[in-house]
Structure formats: structure tokens, C-alpha cells
Amino acid sequence: MARLLLLPMLAVTLPAEASEAPETCATAWVQCGGTGWTGPTCCDSGFSCSQMNSWYSHCVPKESIPEQTQPVSLAASEMVDDECYHMFSELSFNTLVQSFPANPDSEAKAYVDCKLCSRSGMQCTANVFGGRTQLVASHIHLASDGDGENGSGPPVINFCGDNGPGMIADGSSYKSPCAHYKNRAAVMSMTGNFVDGQNAGFTLGSRLKDIASNPSKYYFNFHSIASWTHWQVEGKGPVGMCRGVMQMSQRRLGSVLV
């Protein structure tokens, strides 16, 4: 008899027995909180109430919550701070800035599509076409005079590139190699890296916020081996071979948790 009485407490995850428990908690994947919610705010054992947004929380298996070794509040604040922006750039050879005689890449154009997140990473896909020599670096630059169309300035985030000796080094490694042309198109997926030495006073989060708020001050730039060699010999540093102003694809994607 005593054994029977203990059963509901020992096996509360089974719905039939859970319904006999004195306090009814929400079961797996069922709502357990949110604005205006008047139902149960606890979850069956083995489950935690996980906030999806301010209007909805639901019960998720405890083992599915990442980084259990960290306090829940810390993990939640990291998710709150993950700001993501969906941006793009249409790049072409800039005759004002990038011209030099007999440039084999002077017909280069590109399209770049980026999802830039302050915590969960920066990823861009690119299609570069019409150029003829190997791509060696790409970055988002801040134009020093605020003119992302015709100005120039330091790289603040790098994307594809060659970390080898003699190539364009900005102090932070390139996390992806640039693709080679196949049938005159170089299609690639690139991971971004914050350029530590060129972001004084900025965190990645505040830099991304500035790019999203003032996209016309920034430009995406690809460098080819021909342009790198030419401008290096001229002593002008890396100028690049096709570029385009940053633009917002959408309004901010928003925080994971609002």
C-alpha cells in the first residue's frame, strides 16, 4: 500500500500518473509561461521551463539545454545578446578607386549575402564572376570619410583569404580560403573574423550594430592576386578589385529572445 502511494511522485513523467500528482505541472513541449499565461508554470520532472520569447515558454527535456555546467541565467543572457543582421552587397569594379592599366580583373562583379551575428558567428556566401586572377582576400571595410561607395579605409571584418606568407595580412586570420574560379565564377561560403587591430573602441556587437545602422559607410571588397601585386608594388597597400556598399536585406532579424 505504501508503495502504491509513492508511485505518482517517482514517475511523474508518465502522463497518467502525472495527472494524479497533487500539483499539476506542464508536460513535455507544453506551455509553462508567457505574458497572460494562467496555467502551470512548473514542468514535469526531467523537463525545464524554457522561454522562447516574452509571450511563450514551454517544457523542454533538461538534457537538451546546452551548457548545463553554466548557470541558466548566464546562458539565457548570452542568447539575448545574439544580435543578427541580414545584409548584402553588390560589388563591381570601381573605376575611380581601383583602376590600373591592363588589369585582368577589371570586369569583376560579385554578389555577397551575409548573416552577421554578434555571438553565433558571421557567415557570407559569395559569387564572384568576370575576374581572371585568383581571389586572395575579402573584407568589410569602413570608409574613413564615411563614403562607402568611393572612400576607403581599414578592414573591420575579414572573410575569405590566404594566410600564407606575402599575402594580405590584417592581423586576424582568415577562417576560409577564397574559392577558385570555375567557368569564370567563384562561388563560396565564408566565415567572418573580427579584425582585432582595426576595431578600437568597438566590440563585435557594437561594430555590427554600426554596420547595420550606417551601411553606406561600409563596403565589401574582394582582392585578387593581380590587384594585390599591383598596389603593393605601387606602395599603396591593398586596394581591392571589386567592391560594393553594404545594404540591409531585411530589418534586423532580432534577438533570439526578445
Q: How far is the CB of 145 from ligand NAG (least distance, A)?
A: 10
Q: How far is the CB of 157 from ligand NAG (least distance, A)?
A: 22
CB nearer to ligand NAG: pick between 60 and 97? 97
**C-alpha grid cell for residue 154?**
581599414
| Phi and psi at residue 238, to the nearest 5° | -70, 120
Q: Which strands form 31-33's sheet, in the order they lie side by side?
A: 31-33, 56-61, 47-53
Residues lying near ligand NAG in the complex (CB under 6 A): 96, 147, 149-150
Q: How far is the CB of 130 from ligand NAG (least distance, A)?
A: 20
Q: How far is the CB of 149 from ligand NAG (least distance, A)?
A: 4
CB nearer to ligand NAG: pick between 35 and 95? 95
CB nearer to ligand NAG: pick between 71 and 146? 146
Ordered alpha helix ranges (H), the chain = 2-10, 15-18, 72-80, 95-98, 204-213, 225-233
| Cα–Cα distance measured from residue 220 to residue 100, given in angstroms and rounded to the nearest whole number | 20
CB nearer to ligand NAG: pick between 147 and 210? 147
Residues 6+ apart with CB under 8 A from 125: 112, 113, 187, 188, 189, 190
Q: How far is the CB of 154 from ligand NAG (least distance, A)?
A: 19
| Cα–Cα distance measured from residue 94 to residue 130, given in angstroms and rounded to the nearest whole number | 14
CB nearer to ligand NAG: pick between 107 and 147? 147
